[in-house]
Amino acid sequence: KPQNKEPKIPDVSSTTLVQQHTHTEKNPSNHSGTNNTSNTSQSGKTDRKPKTDVKTVTTKTIDPKSEDKKQAAVLSDLDRIKQKYSIEDLLFIGKTAVKNHAYNDAIIALENLSESHPEKELKNLLLFEAYLESGRTRDALFIANSNSIVDAQYDYLWGKLNEKLGKTKEALDNYQSALTKPSIARSRNEIRFDALYNTALIWSTLYKANPTQDSRIQMLNAWNIVKRSYANNPDHPRFKKANTELASTN
């Protein structure tokens, strides 16, 4: 009779170990990763990653508040001149600054003066002069063309402006017109003496450029008028200039 053999019971513990070992071998990265993590925590160091160059592109942007900043700068200048002249009256500051040849101060004050100011014509005359004397010819021309003021100073400033523009004939006409009007900006005598002196200077230039009999007579007449105007003040530079010019033609 065949003997009944007992079925063999597999060794569970050994099988399990083999499976675990096999699984571990198939995933060496897990084992390695575990070791790396352990090593990192033990040494306190981290793996260094390769550096990646990052290019920074700088772009210019328009500041939406640029106009506000400009306005703040203007206000700062305005506060400065108010402090400098110890007064809030912008027209007074403008007049004082022009008189003292501080034309930039005058421009700051007068440009901030309201267009509805009751003395608007005086404001524009002062601003006309400040622009002209500070070399801002285009701004002076704009003021001149934007206004029509019946005033000796207005005509006188037009004469100076036309001289700068090379319009000699127009300048002579302006100076002549300035002799016949009053002014709210300066005394009539001051404007008169300035207009006569500038007229004489123009005729001297014309005579030297083209020494005709007519230009000589005009030049002599112009300087004689200047000399008579300063007869009571022979030490004045203009009186001396008149004598020099008259002597040079004899």
In tens, the pLDDT along 103-149 reads 999 999 999 998 889 999 999 999 999 999 999 999 999 999 999 99
141 within domain boundaries: yes
**Residues in Cβ contact with 84 at an 8 Å cutoff, skipping those fewer than 6 apart:** 105
Domain that holds residue 104: 83-149
Question: What local confidence, expressed as pLDDT, does residue 25 receive?
Answer: 44
The answer to whether residue 104 sits within a structural domain is yes
Q: Is the pLDDT reported for residue 57 higher than 80? A: no
Per-residue pLDDT averaged across 235-243, rounded? Answer: 98
Residue 117 lies in a domain: yes
* Residue 12 counted as domain residue: no
Whole-prediction pTM: 0.69
Q: At 248, which helix (H) or strand (E)?
A: helix 237-248
In a domain, 143, yes or no: yes
What pLDDT does 115 receive?
Answer: 86
Range in 24-28, 101-105, 191-195 the model is least confident about: 24-28
Mean pLDDT of the chain: 82
- Number of structural domains the chain divides into: 1
Specify the pLDDT at position 43. Answer: 45
What tokens appear for 72 in the block?
Answer: 């703040």
What pLDDT is stored for residue 36 in this prediction? 45
User: Does 68 score more than 90 pLDDT?
Assistant: no
For residue 111, being part of any structural domain is answered with yes
For residues 177-195, give the mean pLDDT: 97
Let me know if residue 194 belongs to a domain: no
